[in-house]
Amino acid sequence: MSRAFLTLILTLGAAITAVHSQVDSCGSDLSTFLPAPFNASDLKCKPIWNSFILRYSQNQENVLSIVLSAAYTSGWVGIGFSNDGMMVGSSAMVGFIGKGGRAHIKQYYLRGQTSSEVIVNEGQLLTTDVAPAVVLYGVNIYLAFQLKFSAPVTQQKLLFAFSSATPNNYHLTEHDDKTSVSFDFSAATSTYPYQLKRNHGALVIFGWGVLLPIGAIIARYCRQWDPLWFYLHVIIQFAGFIFGLAGVVAGISLYNKLHSDVKIHRGLGIFILVLGILQVIAFFLRPDRDSKIRKYWNWYHHWVGRLLLFFAAINIAYGIQVGDAGNSWKVGYGINLSVLLMAVTVLETMLWTKWSKNAAAPPTF
């Protein structure tokens, strides 16, 4: 590692602080801001469309508890229940934040396709005595309500829509976008893969965030242990790559189950994996020490490795944030990163001090 790289890695704190938008996911903890029974841990969860996420549970009395979340800046967000997947004749629950900052949730009957035919406080949905709730938390709005049915709800046509225009006197403007889906409330496949997410995070942190930095530290600061430093460096880096690769495989499996909208995290993960593969290839193509191209190989190998470590640290911190992993993960990785940065700072200072003394020493005869 050089001073230039040390400067880059120290800017990580600034990069992390820029990643504080609370992106909702099925792993988010609702107990901190939603009232009971909408904050129960047994809610099934499934991403639906765009940023829309549907959480639900159904009891033996055919009461369906629903929490719908979506990214929100203004306007309204709604979910409709339809017999045929069409708007006309369906009933919808619509939530929004009024101009005075007050939260609203109302039932609407969609008698026609024009705004004047969307009637507030009418519809065929039977609510319970549990008061519905609308909460704006972070960049997301949450609509929570209960519906009573005469029989268990299984396959149901659902409508999802939103508009950026805030309703005036509960009058809804035309939606900006909409979709219709057939949803199976009885399916057992919507349970959230918590363990797979933990495995993904643990493998990536241990591989990219612990082993690879240790291997790089050994390569730069332990050259006096020749050739032991080289074997330790190779073994640790290969182990780090294997753990990181396993974490990537777990991440792919997690994405196939959730289809979460985490494009930046996925893109950085792919980029880091490519850099890791290039480092492995570079090891097998390493020229001899007396080769004319060895210095170019050294330059390539060192800077690709530094780039990998830098983006791995950023992506781990970003993944902990968007995955809503909790404070224990943030504190744990923060301690790990702090220890590594302090070790690099101390060792780099000692190395430059040694070089300075050697440069200032008088020639020997």
Q: Which residue type does 169 have?
A: N
Residue 85, phi then psi, degrees to nearest 5: 85, 0
How does DSSP classify residue 77? E
Q: Which residue type does 3 have?
A: R
- The Cα–Cα gap between 233 and 231 comes to 5
Q: Which residue type does 139 have?
A: V
- The Cα–Cα gap between 54 and 306 comes to 41
CA torsion sign, 19 to 21 to 23 to 24?
Answer: positive
CB-CB neighbours of 363 under 10 Å:
4
- The Cα–Cα gap between 68 and 47 comes to 10
Residue ranges of the binding site for heme b: 200, 233, 265, 301
Pair of tokens at residue 98: 């009024």
Residue ranges of the binding site: 200, 233, 265, 301
Question: If you compute the radius of gyration of the chain from its CA atoms, what whole number of angstroms results?
Answer: 27
CB-CB neighbours of 256 under 10 Å:
8
CB-CB neighbours of 162 under 10 Å:
22
How does DSSP classify residue 311? H
- DSSP codes joined into one string, 95-150: EEE-TTS-EEEEEEEE-SSSGGGEEET--S--B-SSPPEEEEETTEEEEEEEEE-S
